[in-house]
Amino acid sequence: MQQMFGWLSQVILALALPYFVLTMALGIRVAHRSGRLNTQESRRHVAGRGAGVDNALYFLVPCLNEAVVIGETVKRLLDEPQSTVIVIDDGSTDQTAAHARAAAIGTDPTSRLVVLTRTGPNSRRGKGAALNAAFPFVVEDVADRGLDPSTVVLAVMDADGRLSPGAVSVALALFADRSVGGVQLVVRIRDRKKLVAQFQDIEFWLISALSQFARSICGTVSLGGNGQFTRLSALQGLAGEPWTNSLTEDLDLGLRLISAGWRVTTSTDAYVDQQAVDTMGRLLRQRTRWYQGHMSSIGRLPELWRSPEVREVAVLEVSSYLLVPWLIVLPWSILQQWIIYQMVAGSGHGVFATGLSGVPWRLSYGALWYLLSFAPNLLIGFVYARRTNAISTGRALLLGHLMIVWNYVGYVAAWRAIARMIRGHHGWDKTTRSTEPATQVVAQ
């Protein structure tokens, strides 16, 4: 058993470390080439880039009891000229619809806001169903206006989403490339006072962002549920409705677009910020849903592999990404505990035999464990400090060490997702919002 675990540990490390290093290196390279690794540079240059692109824009904002945040979101989205904002009230029991309409008072014209209300048994069937309910309205309105669907862009926003200055122009400019079917902006957490919120910001603003920058090389960026831009003609070309009932309908849509031959990309020049999930209970529920959706998405692999529209490098990249929970996260969640046991109380050598025994063995084994476990997280901490220019080196060092504990959120969520899949559970509880000042913006 010990030899088997040791062999498995080496296999997992051989898979995980090159994947992590390559992804982070490519992401940093893309960010550096654009001059946007540091957010201060982004603030100086982002405004107005890509302006003048002639696209009609529809914002889709699915809502379920979002009264505390929807008003400010609607106001900001209506500030975008030539855009239509569609709020999909998916059976709310609060004043979501009323707050959305009140936010449009004084806009010119107020008809740029449409509130679609879903009630009864057709409501609360998931985010994908809510978005699909608005899709026929967009298609009909585009036809009435005589617009070319290839020049129409749909942008999905969460009710707490806030776009960075100039983000719309940056996103729309990417659709000048006729091969682009989708654009996903990177995400920033704006309320980062709590440690749990800062860890979420590290995940989004560093790990996920650099991964997305790297994946943009292949045109295989993952779509998310906030700051998601898609070309109408690309959506119309998909079989059935655009969004599915997947727990991660955004990831699923991106995979379908890639399989159909569309490029999905991102930009280093813009972002969308959102609230943090502020309690561990809510966070675990959210991450469990994300893992379950991600892990279920391997069902899309045959479609991807069969598609003649997808290049080999894109197939390899997407396949690797979808298999990460299965080949790395789940096995490593067990093996890491075994490695720690070997260091503290075991008599074996864990990952690699050192040929030593007693205190020298434990010291060398401990050093090896520290290097393999903490080095990637310390790198994450230091690059995060560089990217935000807002925390000290000491704080970065502390966060890097604490990331090893934060990893257990992912471990627990992955195993909870497995349990739900075995039991056939596919429902989920919506993440609740927190009240915040209307003028709150991201502090760079």
Same domain, 144 and 262: yes
Structurally, how many domains does the chain consist of? 2
Residue 430 within a domain = no
33 lies in some domain: no
pLDDT at residue 443 is higher than 60? no
CA angle at 304 for the pair 303 and 308, rounded to the nearest 5°: 100
- The continuous run of DSSP H or E covering 163 comes out as strand 162-163
Same domain (yes/no): 47, 109 = yes
Regarding whether 235 and 179 lie in a shared domain, the answer is yes
Query: What is the arithmetic mean of pLDDT over 227-254?
Result: 98
- The domain containing residue 241 runs over which residues? 39-317
Tens of pLDDT along 377-419? 899 999 999 999 889 989 999 999 999 899 999 999 999 999 9
C-alpha R_g of the chain: 23
Do residues 306 and 413 share a domain? no
Q: In terms of Cα–Cα distance, which of 357, 258, 371, 339 is closest to 17?
A: 371
Inside any domain, residue 179: yes
What residues have CB less than 8 Å from 290, skipping those under 6 apart? Answer: 247, 248, 413
For the stretch 140-169, pLDDT in tens is 999 999 999 999 999 999 999 999 999 999
Whether residue 312 is found in the same domain as residue 327: no
Residue 83 lies in a domain: yes
pLDDT of residue 45: 39
What does the alpha-carbon distance between residue 327 and residue 258 come to, in Å, rounded to a whole number? 23
Question: In the structure, what pLDDT confidence band is assigned to residue 283 with cuts at 50, 70 and 90?
Answer: very high
Q: What is the pLDDT of residue 302?
A: 97
The sign of the CA dihedral 407, 266, 312, 244 is positive
**Residue 259 CB: number of other CB atoms within 10 A?**
22
Distance CA 398, CA 379 (A): 12
User: What pLDDT does 444 receive?
Assistant: 47
Does 44 score more than 60 pLDDT?
no
Residue 135 token pair: 């899709």
Tell me the CA distances in angstroms from 376 to 39, 50, 214, 373, 384, one per residue in order: 22, 35, 17, 7, 12
Q: Which pLDDT belongs to residue 39?
A: 54
In a domain, 439, yes or no: no
What's the token pair of residue 382?
């230091």
411, 359: one domain: yes
Whether residues 146 and 73 fall in one domain: yes
7 exposure class (CB count in 10 Å sphere: 0-12, 13-18, 19+): exposed
The answer to whether residues 269 and 400 belong to one domain is no
Residues 261 and 228 in one domain: yes
Quick one: pLDDT band at residue 50, thresholds 50, 70, 90? very low
pLDDT at 439 over 60: no
| Residues 421, 298 contacting (CB under 8 angstroms) | no
Q: In this structure, are 202 and 299 located in the same domain?
A: yes
Q: Does residue 166 sit within a domain?
A: yes
Polymer length in residues for the chain: 444
Are residue 313 and residue 333 in the same domain, yes or no? no
Q: What is the pLDDT of residue 349?
A: 53
Termini Cα distance of the chain? 50
Query: Of the segments 28-32, 95-99, 277-281, which one has the largest average pLDDT value?
Result: 95-99
Structure tokens at 12: 């997992």
